[in-house]
Structure 1
Amino acid sequence: MRPREAARRNPALRRRVSLLVIAVVAVAVGAAVVIAVALVQRWAFTAAATPPGVGTTVIAPHQSKAQRALAEDGSDAEIAATEYLAAQPTAYWLTPEQDPPGAVGRTVTALTSQARNEDAAVAVVVYGLPGRDCGSHSAGGLAASEYPAWVSEIADALEAAPDVQKVVVLEPDSLALAPSCGDGDQRFAQLRAAAHELSGPDTWIYLDGGHSGWLPAAEMATLISRVDAGTQVRGFATNVSNYRATHDEFAYAHELSGHLGGMHAIVDTSRNGAATAGAEWCNPAGQRVGEPSGTFGDDVVDMNLWVKPPGESDGPCNGGPAAGVWWPEGAVTLAGASAAEH
């Protein structure tokens, strides 16, 4: 006897079948409601999100090397410079050396929690690309097999904070160095996949845009175009870890944007207050911090941002320690009179 025929002849069985059907339908409806609510919430955050701009407040990360250096001994000038720089809104660099797989997600969660508590945005730099820096002072990065999972861990932590505005600078120097590194096709694919993974609610991604003294705008635009990340990327970041004048970077950003259909930009002003370094990029003497994050922008440049944390060395050159290491003497020079006034 078929189950349906048995249920028709047995009232008790028919009731059990009916209850089972109702339960299944209820579970399905409940699941649909949960999914619908989640989609609506995500849509609401995305629809309400506005890109970074003038006046955007970025956190001064509690995990920064400047903050950690506050516990160290030093001269009065070094302590004053460290205190000043630790208090400035600055991007946090996610590197596999400092925040390896299995730990980087917790770091991102701590950053977004701080941003939520302070009603501010968080800016992070994702810097772990395989073959990073082509073996120069910042050589390192992850193996090609490890990079996607590391990026995914970052992405999951960012997506878990849809209510926080997130600025992501994706792999500085990766595109401008591609012609000399000789691994462009691999880099384009890795950056495309990373941008896809990192995209999410109120997350604004900026690719490497070099700077005004590096590659011609047309050549840089070709490199950015080959990433082909579509609308998942807001724009590009220029002058990261460099010392070029703000005026020159704005002009360069406009020229580059013109080649890219109006793509937006952010400009690193963390160390361009003097802008006298010329072609010297590794701990040049006599430089100063630039205008604070969120001070200015225009129809192309969303905002200026301290991307490179002042006080961290560019590498073992001009008296500095290894790249990324806190350098008290360099911090004093960069902070200058600002630290004394602070």
Structure 2
Amino acid sequence: MTSPTSGQTFAAGSTVTLAATASDPGGAVSRVEFRVDGNLVNSDTTSPYSFNVTGLASGSHTAQATAFDNGSPALSTATTAVPFTIQGTVQPTIVASPTSLTVASGASGTSTLRLNAAPSSSVTVTLTRSGSTAITASPTSITFNSGNWQSGVNVTFTAATGTAAATSTFTAASSGYTSATVSVTRSGVVTGRVDNPYLGSGVYNNPLWRANAAASGGSAISMQPTGVWLDRISAIGGNGSPTTGTMGLVDHLNEALAQDQANGSTPMAIQIVIYNLPGRDCAALASNGELGPNDLPRYKAEYIDVIAAILRRAEYANLRIVLIIEIDSLPNLVTNVTTRPTGTAACDTMFQNHAYVDGVGYALATFGAIPNVYNYVDAGHHGWLGWDTNFGPSVDMMRTAATASGSTLANVHGFITNTANTSALQEPYIVVDSTTRPSRWIDWNQFNDELTYAQAFRQRAVQAGFDANIGMLIDTSRNGWGGPNRPTGPSTAADLNTRIDASRIDRRIHKGNWCNASGAGLGERPRAAPAAGIDAYVWIKPPGESDGASQEIPNDEGKGFDRMCDPTYGGNPRNNNNMTGALPNAPLSGHWFPAQFQQLLQNAYPPL
């Protein structure tokens, strides 16, 4: 403890600052608990660890701090109790903490009332309201005695449903005591969506990813926003999985509300990945899911409907909820059916039974009915859909899904490219034209970077009937390709393939390689409106989470072993039978992969 110091004396009625430093060389500190006279008064989860105590009675007291690590089970260590003294007599006072609250329409918040000194007999405190009648308090009468005067009693303030802002002031009073007031404001509900939910908004920082990043040497980026992946039904409630930890959807939304409160008047967006289609990812075993090809009814009732019911809650009405809809699903129905050399029987099944199309349509219709939800549909990446035979048909497939199961095109706010992929944002030293398209690397693709692809995809989608104001997101979480191998200018080699290979930013062996790419680095940091038609650069795939296991690992998550994650595999038609370039010793997809995270830090571009 750094405050108070041993034997320190304070005047009557003083505020006493409790402060401590804490660190864990082998992990991270999850919280520090402060106690006065053995009673818990606060738990602080962020450094610097401190808390101001008011209303302490005259006489001798002790302060103590206990630090807990982030392990399971959590380990802890406590300081020696530090003695201090409050002098003189104290004017009896009612204390409220906090003294002001902002709650959404239909939501609630709490403030704790306590006394500043032990009463000689029971004391009844009554709450009276002034201002708007749209906010109520419960209870409105509290009796304090020797058992609860210091710990206090929580009062719940509830705002009635309504779109207009309202403010009420509650006065807690008792004869002979200085009163306390609590000001409660109902924020006006934002009606209708904004054009770009990222513009002028804070974006949710997942504390679970933050802890992993900070503990792995990534404190410089640990406060960046990343996506929350709901990759199983049980993830909605919080299943201890690597993607959600013990936090379920409600936990993340509540934490987003807390970050929004700390954000002042700035709106708060939260990014959630909807990822549990029946027969998920029919062309890649590493990301298979729990639902079978014919489990569309379960997908609707047990997954989409449950998530939607949570997102509709009034307390979340002012959050900007960005949903990333079903990664790597609809493009498979274009490129990986068996009429193509890259086809699989599983993708044939999902094409024939319409579960992908109907599932995505149902998700879009259900979530699109929630006013503060923004649906962005996955659009692969240029190294998958950029060829003439894939580009237009993929947009058309997405139009088909967006008008299935009762949905309309208006339910699509935009598209996202490059999720969990490493395609370079820009290739400044290569021009795609008739002279370079025949090269081995470009291989007749129309595009050679994600920015050009995303902007063209947007234009093609508008031509297909999507709203003219749709926006694009580009996942830049692992496409920086910095480090010593990054070219600094175009090659002048006479041989076309030699010139392109020496000039390209993306250092993969082939554009079709997608799993734990060796040499990848963090890309552009998340930011809003970075280029024309682009709503934001985002980190939807959290850096440091594996793309798939490099060998078979038994699991209860429905995830198979895909040889594209095996560094010894010689490839298949989807990467033109090249080596995979995958990192070795990778865990299951979504699990923390320290070696990958260290590489992403080292090869970040722009550099850290």
TM-score band, normalised by the shorter chain? 0.7 to 0.9
- The equivalent residue for 1:126 is 274
- The equivalent residue for 1:321 is 587
Q: C-alpha offsets along residues 29-66 of structure 1, whole Å, 9 cap, x if unaligned?
A: xxxxxxx96578999513373423456431211233x5
Contact preservation (8 Å) 2:521, 2:602: yes
- Per the TM alignment, residue 282 of structure 1 is displaced from its structure 2 partner at its CA by 0.6
Kindly indicate whether residue 335 of structure 2 is the aligned counterpart of residue 335 of structure 1: no
Q: 157-166 or 237-246: which moved more?
A: 157-166
- Per the TM alignment, residue 268 of structure 1 is displaced from its structure 2 partner at its CA by 0.5
Structure 1 Cα separation of the partners of residues 193 and 288 of structure 2 = 39
Structure 2 Cα separation of the partners of residues 141 and 85 of structure 1 = 32
Relative to its length, the structure with more strand (as a share) is 2
TM-score (norm 2): 0.45
Q: 44-53 or 268-277: which moved more?
A: 44-53
- Per the TM alignment, residue 129 of structure 1 is displaced from its structure 2 partner at its CA by 1.1
Aligned-CA RMSD value: 2.9
Structure 2 Cα separation of the partners of residues 273 and 338 of structure 1 = 6
Structure 1 Cα separation of the partners of residues 300 and 238 of structure 2 = 13
Contact preservation (8 Å) 2:271, 2:323: yes
Match runs of 1:8-27 below 5 Å: none
- The equivalent residue for 1:146 is 298
Pick from 235, 247, 259 the counterpart of residue 99 of structure 1.
235
- Per the TM alignment, residue 145 of structure 1 is displaced from its structure 2 partner at its CA by 2.7
C-alpha distance 56-178 of structure 1, shift in aligned 2 (>3 A): farther
Contact preservation (8 Å) 1:115, 1:121: no
- Per the TM alignment, residue 177 of structure 1 is displaced from its structure 2 partner at its CA by 1.6
Structure 1 Cα separation of the partners of residues 287 and 238 of structure 2 = 22
Kindly indicate whether residue 204 of structure 2 is the aligned counterpart of residue 59 of structure 1: yes
Match runs of 1:71-90 below 5 Å: 79-81=216-218, 83-90=219-226
Match runs of 1:1-342 below 5 Å: 38=162, 45-47=190-192, 49-53=194-198, 56-64=201-209, 67=211, 79-81=216-218, 83-96=219-232, 99-100=235-236, 104-119=248-263, 120-134=268-282, 136-142=285-291, 143-149=295-301, 150-160=303-313, 161-179=316-334, 180=336, 181-182=347-348, 183-184=350-351, 185-199=354-368, 200-215=370-385, 216-227=390-401, 228=403, 229-247=408-426, 248-261=449-462, 262=468, 263-274=470-481, 275-277=506-508, 278-279=510-511, 280-294=513-527, 296-316=529-549, 317=565, 318-319=583-584, 320-336=586-602
Structure 1 Cα separation of the partners of residues 455 and 200 of structure 2 = 21
C-alpha distance 145-57 of structure 1, shift in aligned 2 (>3 A): same
Q: In percent, how many aligned pairs have the same letter?
A: 28
Q: C-alpha offsets along residues 275-328 of structure 1, whole Å, 9 cap, x if unaligned?
A: 322422111111101111115433421111111101001112331111111011
Aligned length: 297
What amino acid sits opposite 1:303 in the alignment? A
- Per the TM alignment, residue 115 of structure 1 is displaced from its structure 2 partner at its CA by 4.3
What amino acid sits opposite 1:95 in the alignment? D
What amino acid sits opposite 1:122 in the alignment? I
Q: C-alpha offsets along residues 321-340 of structure 1, whole Å, 9 cap, x if unaligned?
A: 1111101111111112769x
Contact preservation (8 Å) 1:51, 1:204: no
Contact preservation (8 Å) 2:198, 2:269: no
Which entry has the higher C-alpha Rg, 1 or 2?
Answer: 2
What amino acid sits opposite 1:62 in the alignment? P
Q: C-alpha offsets along residues 211-262 of structure 1, whole Å, 9 cap, x if unaligned?
A: 0110232122111111124211101110001011113212111221222114
Structure 2 Cα separation of the partners of residues 166 and 109 of structure 1 = 9
Per the alignment, in what secondary structure is the counterpart of residue 382 of structure 2?
coil
Q: 152-161 or 98-107: which moved more?
A: 98-107
User: Relative CO higher for 1 or 2, CA cutoff 8 Å, sep ≥ 6?
Assistant: 1
Note the residue ranges of structure 2 that are not aligned, 5 or more in a row. 1-159, 166-186, 240-247, 337-346, 427-448, 463-467, 482-505, 550-564, 566-582
Relative to its length, the structure with more helix (as a share) is 1
C-alpha distance 113-211 of structure 1, shift in aligned 2 (>3 A): same
- Per the TM alignment, residue 264 of structure 1 is displaced from its structure 2 partner at its CA by 2.1
Contact preservation (8 Å) 2:520, 2:603: no
